[in-house]
């Protein structure tokens, strides 16, 4: 009978150990799931930030292109204004010559 009680005690002890093992295992699995959730959240944040950076770089490149185009257009405008002044001056000279010839 004592042997039977010891065996029963061992069974109870093993049962408690198995229950504790199951509880710890469930806690580990829950913690792993939470960790995976955090990893996913961080990964999504990193992806969003990378997309933001890529768009920002593209916009800066486009801004540089536009500034360069503006500089080229301003140079052309200056050249056209100079040409217009030169043509206006030549026209005035031509006009004076025509008036002189008519006199």
Per-residue pLDDT tens digits for 52-95 = 999 999 999 999 999 999 999 999 999 999 999 999 999 999 98
At residue 1, the pLDDT reads: 47
Separation in Å, CA 48 to CA 45, 62, 68: 5, 21, 30
Q: Tokens 């768009």 label which residue?
A: 55
At residue 65, the pLDDT reads: 98
* 36 CA to centre of own chain: 24
At residue 24, the pLDDT reads: 97
CA torsion, points 17, 18, 21, 25, in degrees to nearest 10? -170
Per-residue pLDDT tens digits for 1-60 = 455 555 668 888 999 999 999 999 999 999 999 999 999 999 999 999 999 999 999 999
Q: Which helix (H) or strand (E) holds 23?
A: helix 2-102
């Amino acid at each position: 009978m004592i042997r039977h009680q010891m065996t029963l005690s061992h069974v109870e002890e093993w049962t408690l150990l198995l229950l504790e093992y199951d509880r710890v295992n469930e806690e580990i699995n829950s913690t792993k799931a939470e960790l995976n959730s955090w990893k996913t959240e961080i990964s999504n944040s990193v992806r969003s930030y990378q997309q933001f950076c890529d768009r920002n770089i593209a916009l800066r490149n486009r801004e540089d292109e536009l500034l360069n185009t503006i500089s080229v257009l301003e140079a052309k405008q200056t050249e056209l204004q100079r040409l217009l002044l030169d043509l206006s001056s030549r026209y005035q000279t031509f006009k004076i010559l025509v008036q002189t010839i008519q006199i």
